[in-house]
Amino acid sequence: MTTLYLCHPASLDHATPPGHPERADRIRVIERVLEDERFAALVREQAPLADLTVAGLAHPENYVAAIAGAAPDEGLVGIDSDTVMSPGSLEAARRALGAAVRAVDEVMGGRVANAFAAMRPPGHHAERERAMGFCLFNTAAVAARHARKHHGAARVALVDWDVHHGNGSQDIFWDDASVMYASTHQMPLFPGTGAASERGEHDTVVNVPLHAGDDGDTFREAFAHGVLPRLDAFRPDLIVISAGFDAHWRDPLANLKLTEADFAWATREVMGIADRRCGGRVVSLLEGGYDLIGLSKSVAAHVETLMGH
């Protein structure tokens, strides 16, 4: 069994303003590092173009239509203070949705052990009816709902180790007992949500806040005690990872001090529970990570660990 890697050149066509941290070079450095011979065994596929109705798994129809209608014919249009659309943004977002759905199909169908999709724009800040934090559609939420609707998954767990709390994923699954959302993140930090007291209507939201300056040892302890036992007890049929790598010590947007080895460790721990509970089924979707060196090293460690399955 192998690891599926999904990408598409359309990810490069989602333009952001000069100096914006969420930029096409993020994808370029990931593609470059995954060309190394260590990754020769990856099953590589181009992300398919999803129909916009797919976004309806996580967002109401009027919101999806509003985002589609906001795409400009030229230049950039601001969706909120730090989220923009360019002429290439809508296809990029649809390819990101397509990658998420394809990854779930292949993993749930047993054709690959697990999958990693390196697409942009990211997704975990997109709430039911609000784009924000560089995100238009919540691809991880769509992946979870697709597994439920089309593959009969009774329970899906969403594990988010991006340094910023995934307020969008929490919003979408707040009252959904079939999806567990578990997050480690720096607080206080954008977007301001993610307190440990935020637990959802069915106690299926698990927030484990970290503090500026916390290192890998602190992260591992918090993850091991705050996330992993809850994940195991939930007995998911699929685990979706919101794989942000901006908790890396090099990242300019936050102040945690993780290394690529910490992401490899977290990947192994999640895979261990997946092996025990759901036949090893893991789908990983790229979220943040804005220092190009830290991002490429962290993705390499993450994917190498997925391949070691």
Among 227, 231, 219, 178, residue whose Cα is nearest residue 200:
178
Instruction: Assess whether 125 carries a catalytic annotation.
Output: yes
Maximum CA extent, the chain: 50
C-alpha–C-alpha distance, residues 187 and 165, integer Å:
8
CB 123 within 8 A of CB 141: yes
C-alpha–C-alpha distance, residues 276 and 210, integer Å:
28
C-alpha–C-alpha distance, residues 16 and 30, integer Å:
18
* Backbone dihedral region for residue 76 (phi beyond 0: left; psi -120 to 50: alpha; all else: beta): beta
Active-site residue (options: 8, 14, 125, 302): 125
CA contacts within 13 A on the Cβ side of 163:
29
C-alpha–C-alpha distance, residues 87 and 109, integer Å:
34
Residues acting as catalytic residues: 125
